[in-house]
Amino acid sequence: MNLDTNPKISTHRLKAIFGGSIGNLVEWYDWYAYSAFAIYFSASFFPKENPTAQLLNTAGIFALGFLMRPLGGYIFGRLADRVGRKQSMTLSVLLMSFGSLLIALTPTYQAIGIIAPIVLLTARLLQGLSVGGEYGVSATYLSEMATKNRRGFYSSFQYVTLIGGQLLALAIQLALQKLFLSDAQLHDWGWRVPFAFGAILAIVALYLRKNLEETKAFENQKNHTSNRKGTLKELLKHPKAVLTVIGLTLGGTLAFYTYTTYMQKFLVNTMHMSKEQSTLMSFATLFIFACLQPVFGALSDKIGRRPLLIGFGLAGTICTVPLLTLLSETTSQLQAFLLLMFALIIVSGYTSINAIVKAELFPAQIRALGVGLPYALTVAIFGGTAEYIALWLKDIQHENYYYWYISLCIFVSLLVYVLMKDTKENSELDEDAK
């Protein structure tokens, strides 16, 4: 059976997509557990100050973790292009889980002083290295395993599982908050539970990824151009594709991290919700957000990638400032839910298809590196600093400046969407079968 031309969904393909996606979920759970539980453990790693200052320090380490992502994108992307997608994904999830275990076992600032935040930083740097490689390789793997007419649908599961990692972290947080631990216990030691759980999940991810099959696209070029595969020299032969990845990622990643990772803190610090209320609202909106990804991905298979990107760019540029302003002023939880959900629907025009768009820009011998490295550089600069900039501007009483910053970045990406070709009709993935 020819898996690349058969339009039916085969068991082989479903197993590959499921295995790649679940491993991605585990890796992103470990990454987001840090953000979800920062409101509880920030005081354990830094001297006692005001809550915003503690979160600012924690967000600073979160941002520094992102600085390792370009290096991870290079190392794991090069490995995936030269040795294989499967091996690269297996190694990345092991590194992520080691970082998670390190956080779970680190003593508090009160116990070991300045060593505590240093160990926390080390763990986050390791996790940043891992997740920097994960995106490009998993995006490449899912795109290459998909049939031509369902690439948008299949690749959308990268963000389903990425969001699923956040949902799992929030679900554990809700369970600990509502069923098992008091607020004092969560601040004291309960925040360690999700990091220990994340390390254990690595066993499941390792098993699933160990049994994955390699993609046909990689196998077809495995014995060719071996001296050019996964090199920066080869990547720089595709400057237009590299710049396109940077441009289309800029606004999307900032909007995504604002409405997902940072939003839980925004609901507590700006809207003055309780931590439990913010966790519950984040969980509900993210669950719906995850369900929207395959819908938008399938739509892109019908109408193309570019219309969805332009829709996100226009709506994001126009609506971001009024949306966040209304969110900051509302006292109604229902209104806050509807506003946040509207924002996530807009962002879905980017998140659902950004993986496949990037994969369609590069040939197989440089695809994982081409997708991962420029993406990781952009996310490190803009996504990784989103929380820090937002909290800093709030601390100096100019939080609304952040809203305009997001709008400007989305507008820059909109210009890229308008000028670029639709990758559905001009896909390098079509060249893999030739």
**What is the average per-residue pLDDT within 138-150?**
82
d(CA 124, CA 39): 16
At residue 307, the pLDDT reads: 93
Report residue 111 as tokens.
């116990």
Nearest to 257 by CA among 174, 123, 378: 378
Burial class (CB in 10 A: 0-12, 13-18, 19+), 2: exposed
d(CA 41, CA 24): 25
Q: Which segment of 161-165, 301-305, 412-416 scores lowest on mean pLDDT?
A: 161-165
**What is the average per-residue pLDDT within 28-53?**
72
**What is the average per-residue pLDDT within 297-321?**
93
pLDDT tier at 22 (50, 70, 90 boundaries)?
confident
Instruction: Give, for 318, the enclosing helix (H) or strand (E).
Output: helix 306-329
**Cα dist. 121→127, 175, 339 in Å?**
10, 27, 34
At residue 5, the pLDDT reads: 44
At residue 294, the pLDDT reads: 93
Q: Quote the mean pLDDT of the chain.
A: 82
Percentage of residues of the chain with pLDDT beyond 90:
21
Sequence letter at residue 397: Q
At residue 227, the pLDDT reads: 61
**What is the average per-residue pLDDT within 307-335?**
91
At residue 163, the pLDDT reads: 86
Q: CB neighbours of 372 closer than 8 A, spacing ≥ 6?
A: 72, 73, 74, 76, 77, 132, 133, 135, 136, 137, 139, 140
| 365 contacts 231 by C-beta, under 8 angstroms | no
Nearest to 24 by CA among 119, 163, 151: 163
Nearest to 224 by CA among 12, 11, 434, 6: 434
pLDDT in tens, 72-99: 888 988 888 888 888 888 888 788 878 8
At residue 220, the pLDDT reads: 75
Nearest-10 crossing angle of helices 192-210, 157-175: 150
At residue 345, the pLDDT reads: 95
pLDDT tier at 411 (50, 70, 90 boundaries)?
very high
At residue 52, the pLDDT reads: 60
pLDDT in tens, 250-269: 999 999 988 887 887 788 87
| 325 contacts 403 by C-beta, under 8 angstroms | yes
Sign for the CA dihedral angle at 63, 67, 70, 75 comes to: negative
At residue 292, the pLDDT reads: 94
Who has greater pLDDT, 346 or 136?
Answer: 346
**What is the average per-residue pLDDT within 189-203?**
85
d(CA 93, CA 130): 7
pLDDT tier at 8 (50, 70, 90 boundaries)?
very low
| 33 contacts 164 by C-beta, under 8 angstroms | no
Q: Is 70 exceeded by the pLDDT of residue 280? A: yes
At residue 3, the pLDDT reads: 39
The alpha carbon of residue 73 and the mean position of all alpha carbons in its chain are separated, in whole angstroms, by 13
Nearest to 390 by CA among 43, 28, 60, 33: 60
Q: What is the DSSP letter of 434?
A: -
| 65 contacts 127 by C-beta, under 8 angstroms | yes
At residue 302, the pLDDT reads: 92
| 370 contacts 170 by C-beta, under 8 angstroms | no
Q: Residue 27: phi, psi to the nearest 5?
A: -65, -45
Question: Which residue's entry shows tokens 């400007």?
Answer: 408
| 353 contacts 152 by C-beta, under 8 angstroms | yes
Q: What is the DSSP letter of 291?
A: H
**What is the average per-residue pLDDT within 321-349?**
91
Q: Residue 308: phi, psi to the nearest 5?
A: -70, -40
| 279 contacts 266 by C-beta, under 8 angstroms | no
Q: What is the DSSP letter of 271?
A: S
**What is the average per-residue pLDDT within 41-67?**
67
d(CA 348, CA 149): 20
pLDDT tier at 419 (50, 70, 90 boundaries)?
very high
Nearest to 342 by CA among 358, 360, 326: 326
CB atoms within 10 A of CB 240: 9
**Cα dist. 99→102, 114, 125, 202 in Å?**
5, 19, 8, 11
pTM for this prediction: 0.81
Domains by residue range for the chain, with CATH = 11-433 (1.20.1250.20)
At residue 1, the pLDDT reads: 33
**What is the average per-residue pLDDT within 65-77?**
84
